[in-house]
Structure 1
Amino acid sequence: MGDSIRFLLDGEVQTLRDVDPTATVLDLLRYRLGRTGTKEGCAEGDCGACTVLLGELDGDRVAWRAVNACILFVPMLDGRALMTVESLSRGGTLHPVQRAMVEKHGSQCGFCTPGIIMSLYARTVGAAGTAVPAKDLLAGNLCRCTGYGPILAVAEEAEVAPSEEDAIVSALRSLDRDRPLELSWRDPLADSDRRWFAPRTSDELAQILLDHPDARIVAGATDVGLWVTKQHRVLPDIIWLGDVADLKIIEEEEGHVRLGANVRYSEAHAALTRLHPDLGELIRRIGAVQVRNSGTIGGNIANGSPIGDTPPALIALGATLTLRRGAERRQIPLEDYFIAYGKQDRVPGEFVESVTVPRPAPGTLIRIVKLSKRFDSDISAVCGAFALTIEAGRIVSARIAFGGMAGTPARAHNAEAALAGQPWSETTIEAAAAALAQDYTPLTDVRGSADYRLTAAANLLRRLWIEQQAPESLLALEPIHG
């Protein structure tokens, strides 16, 4: 058991003791370290005003990623390097990104500016997920003064530059040798100990879960972080997956892609794009760079949200889940994991280890469509995924799954039955569209009414048919992921 957290801030070792396991890095920076450049705008990972850079060892280099400090728990810093907006201008000299923001009038009220600068700076050090168009790079940074024009001009000029990081690599290696497996903090209000477990291997994780089956598993905290910042929940025991290296595997084989549960969205993006372009586009629509740099594929599944974006797509593609408890493993179809709202097929002490996605057979018709009120950083109202095998004008097989249509992501079995074995025709599509009302009883909420969701789902089926009939000139008029 350890009693301290150690990390690098601008290359200098910081040691923290008696730390609340769910204290946020944002609060640490502002109220304990006096780094007030990092702002609180939303406290839920949406606005980007709190963007900082987190670095960790990757062989002989430091792998940087932009993250939201407002939903990053302080123990996640242990053994890592941290940079804030103050890091860029030590000694009184502005970094080129900062200078460009001044010269191009990219700052108005200035509240969002530090977070925007950190997102732009991330590209200059080749940080994860930043090799994207400028608008994607800044999708997670909201400017309420609507000054995006000059900011985008600065983003276009932000080029990757070599960095001198040998000293940081050496210091991180030194920190890595002494990192604790467990931290404990005494909660004076609850008069109890709150523990933070940081296993290094899946074997350690399995044993800790057997010993503490009620502990909360946390990967990127993109959802659990809001339990603390918005709901003010107290989480007694936490098991963090950030150091479990063997849950970060990405295995691309001839017949499948296998992803460890701890693979972040930004890390999975390339492999899933190669599996099918629509999957890559779907990942691009999940949150923003900061969220994709923290959130994980396994966390999105294990969470069991009915509006999680990846499960419908993976279900339609026939993905299987590997669950582990102790030394025992079992595989189940991903669709069977979701039992009811808030209930998954996972017994105490069991955890999601990996997800395996079969490589689609050549010629399979695949479409994955996310419908939301805005394009960037929004939660789905409806997410539909279709995988059809069509031979000689007849539908041989069909797998359809939707999110946002029920208490869980689920297949449309009646619609599939209306398609399978039938001619590939408009009449068949209309029969399948009508069958969706037997598959789902959607709820009405702020993202859409039940009628809207059923109508939209049926229209996605019709659109699939139209796309295959229309000339390419017509298809180019509107993107299929709007």
Structure 2
Amino acid sequence: MAMQSTEQNTVKTIRFIRRGEVVTLGNVPPTRTLLEVLREDLGLTGTKEGCGEGDCGACTVVLGETEDGTLRYRAINSCIRLAHSIDGMALWTVEDIAPTLVASRTALRLRPGEAGSAAPAGDREEVEPTLHPAQQAMLENHASQCGFCTPGFVMSLFGMYQNHVLKGETITRALAQEELSGNLCRCTGYRPILDAAQQMVAYPAVPLDEVQLVCQLESVRPEPVEGPGTASTGSARTGYMSPVNLDGLLRARAAHPDAQIVAGCTDVGLWVTKQHMQFGKVLDLTKVRELRRIEHYPHHIAIGAAVPLTDAFAALVKDRPQLHAFAARFAGLPVRNSGTLGGNVANGSPIGDSMPLLIALGANVVLMSMRAGQQVSRELPLEQLYTGYRKNVMAADEVLAWIKVPRAVAGENAQVYKISKRYDDDISAVCLAINLSIEDGIVAKASIGAGGVAATPVRALKTEAALAGKPWTAATVQQAMATLRAEFSPISDMRASSTYRVEVLGNLLQRYWLESQGMQQINLQSFRLEEAL
């Protein structure tokens, strides 16, 4: 199972846990994807390549790692995940989850009538591998037709099983829809797959030996290989640097400003798979312990750049529950499990969904660097980070370290609207976030962020001015709608025409007004199928 490197100190060795064993891989190039390693190096062809961009979910696998002494399971897209990033983790593919395989490589059971668990070897007989509840439920609900997407669905169900079923939680239809939103199927219509998700609880439990797994993960924990202050699990000579603390990250960035920074790789991964880009040096910040934290303060929440989107949105939703539906529509769960809020912000895509929301909430970013042996930081409003299409004000030696989001205050009403061709797992044509404070019928404060309408995520300054200090009336809204439509000149592309985007901008402001007046039947979140029958 192990592959030995033919060149010493050329490429960093990867170690991870699979089926209770340590897998060691050497000579893996820095930009080789996890999917390539699984299918081509390990021969694990159950994991499929569909879109190659983290969109269809056919390549879904589950990763496990310890966080604060407990195990976290995350379903992720292996097609855009760099193989080196799973160093020190546990991995499950669709070949690994049958319960007898989880327990041991040779499944054994007692003969009928025998008691106890320590029967002599001669009194045991081999058992054919049985199915995991995720697999059995798919089978019994006829949830697979052509079968190409099935391994990905099974692995998303396996992640759901570990995170919910084994904790005694109920799989509701809504939860199943949310957590399977990153998996696409063109055959089944999804209904039998959702049925399978809810039926997993009906089968005998198949728990993992988490105590043993935690010990194994400790045994493959990457050890820093460089000197004091530059602790990293790789080095420039290996091509893949993965600092374990902030000091090491800043020093590595200062020494290697040409290295490609990655986090969850949900965007850079597409540069590799679609544009065939290769990077001589990769600087991965996902193991930097300081940047994996979410810190809560009286007036703001500080989210580290390496915090997965799943956890970052959970923190935002806890403070502002009305953002839940939007958070669940940010790509699919496997993308949110890999991608980071810091990566989405630093990437600066004009159609990145988190930035309009963060702009409307008044978020700041903290940029950090190492200069003259000292950590240096500067803070600025998020919208001032960008200077043009995917361009920003960061110096070559700087990294985006933190996003600081003000806490919700009394009287505030923050809403964010995403318009896309597909409701789930799709890229926005337009994203508009509106945050108004209404006091005694007057707009005391207006903050609006927009995406998909300019070369960068932007603040709608003219529309904010058209609202601030005005009475919150239909007439004010109509005037602000005209201002908003005139404020930007979006392009036409494959997702929407310029005319459509302009019209929708005003319509979304009108929707905000109608919802503020108590109308709820205009949004899909309040739609109930049984009410429509």
Report the TM range for the smaller structure's normalisation. Answer: over 0.9
Paired position in structure 2 for 1:49: 58
Give the C-alpha shift of residue 382 in structure 1: 0.7
Aligned mate of 2:81, from 72, 75, 90: 72
Aligned mate of 1:247, from 291, 298, 323: 291
Paired position in structure 1 for 2:245: 201
Paired position in structure 1 for 2:6: none
Aligned mate of 2:22, from 13, 23, 26: 13
| SS state at 1:88 partner | coil
Give the C-alpha shift of residue 316 in structure 1: 0.8
| SS state at 1:37 partner | coil
Gaps of 5+ in 2: 1-8, 102-106, 108-128, 226-231, 528-533
- Does structure 1 retain, via aligned residues, the 8 Å contact 2:460–2:484? yes
Give the C-alpha shift of residue 161 in structure 1: 6.1
Q: In the alignment, residue 388 of structure 1 is paired with which amino acid?
A: L
Paired position in structure 2 for 1:154: 196
Aligned mate of 1:109, from 143, 146, 155: 146
- Does structure 2 retain, via aligned residues, the 8 Å contact 1:414–1:438? no
Structure 1 distance, partners of 2:521, 2:288, is: 44
| SS state at 2:62 partner | strand
Aligned pairs for 1:295-306 within 5 A = 295-306=339-350
Question: Which is worse superposed, 374-383 or 50-59?
Answer: 50-59
Q: In the alignment, residue 316 of structure 1 is paired with which amino acid?
A: A
RMSD value, Cα:
2.1
Q: 1:195 to 1:25 in 2, by over 3 A?
A: same
Give the C-alpha shift of residue 202 in structure 1: 0.9
Q: In the alignment, residue 124 of structure 1 is paired with which amino acid?
A: Y
Q: In the alignment, residue 41 of structure 1 is paired with which amino acid?
A: G
Q: 1:162 to 1:253 in 2, by over 3 A?
A: farther
Q: 1:434 to 1:244 in 2, by over 3 A?
A: same
| SS state at 1:251 partner | strand
| SS state at 1:475 partner | coil
Matched, 1:446 2:494: yes
Paired position in structure 1 for 2:263: 219
Paired position in structure 2 for 1:190: none
Give the C-alpha shift of residue 359 in structure 1: 1.3
Paired position in structure 2 for 1:37: 46
Question: Which is worse superposed, 116-125 or 251-260?
Answer: 251-260
Paired position in structure 2 for 1:145: 187
Aligned mate of 1:119, from 141, 156, 159: 156
Structure 2 distance, partners of 1:451, 1:268, is: 34
Aligned mate of 2:467, from 407, 410, 419: 419
Question: Which is worse superposed, 175-184 or 198-207?
Answer: 175-184
Q: Report Cα offsets for 1:248-274 as digits up to 9, x if no partner.
A: 111223311110111111112321112
Give the C-alpha shift of residue 177 in structure 1: 5.2
Aligned mate of 1:456, from 504, 508, 520: 504
- Does structure 1 retain, via aligned residues, the 8 Å contact 2:137–2:197? no
Question: Which is worse superposed, 256-265 or 276-285?
Answer: 276-285
Aligned mate of 2:282, from 238, 259, 264: 238
Q: In the alignment, residue 171 of structure 1 is paired with which amino acid?
A: Q
* Number of aligned residues: 471
Structure 1 distance, partners of 2:81, 2:90, is: 14
| SS state at 1:360 partner | coil
Give the C-alpha shift of residue 162 in structure 1: 4.3
Matched, 1:63 2:105: no
Give the C-alpha shift of residue 481 in structure 1: 9.6
Give the C-alpha shift of residue 150 in structure 1: 1.7
Q: In the alignment, residue 178 of structure 2 is paired with which amino acid?
A: D
Aligned mate of 1:476, from 521, 524, 532: 521
Q: 1:112 to 1:480 in 2, by over 3 A?
A: closer
Q: 1:96 to 1:423 in 2, by over 3 A?
A: closer
Q: In the alignment, residue 121 of structure 1 is paired with which amino acid?
A: F
Paired position in structure 1 for 2:137: 100
Aligned mate of 1:82, from 91, 112, 119: 91
Give the C-alpha shift of residue 184 in structure 1: 6.9
| SS state at 2:220 partner | helix
- Does structure 2 retain, via aligned residues, the 8 Å contact 1:48–1:115? yes
Q: In the alignment, residue 148 of structure 1 is paired with which amino acid?
A: Y
Aligned mate of 1:171, from 193, 208, 216: 216
- Does structure 2 retain, via aligned residues, the 8 Å contact 1:54–1:82? yes
Give the C-alpha shift of residue 127 in structure 1: 7.3
Q: Report Cα offsets for 1:144-188 as digits up to 9, x if no partner.
A: 212522211110123486431222211111111536535479xxx
Paired position in structure 2 for 1:334: 382
Question: Which is worse superposed, 429-438 or 63-72?
Answer: 429-438
Give the C-alpha shift of residue 451 in structure 1: 1.0
Give the C-alpha shift of residue 466 in structure 1: 2.1
Q: Report Cα offsets for 1:274-304 as digits up to 9, x if no partner.
A: 2212433222111111111001110010001
Q: 1:478 to 1:232 in 2, by over 3 A?
A: same
- Does structure 2 retain, via aligned residues, the 8 Å contact 1:51–1:68? yes
Structure 2 distance, partners of 1:203, 1:280, is: 35
Question: Which is worse superposed, 409-418 or 83-92?
Answer: 83-92
Q: 1:480 to 1:56 in 2, by over 3 A?
A: closer
Larger Rg: 2
| SS state at 2:313 partner | helix
Q: 1:149 to 1:280 in 2, by over 3 A?
A: closer
Aligned mate of 1:435, from 450, 473, 483: 483
Paired position in structure 1 for 2:356: 312
Q: 1:308 to 1:481 in 2, by over 3 A?
A: farther
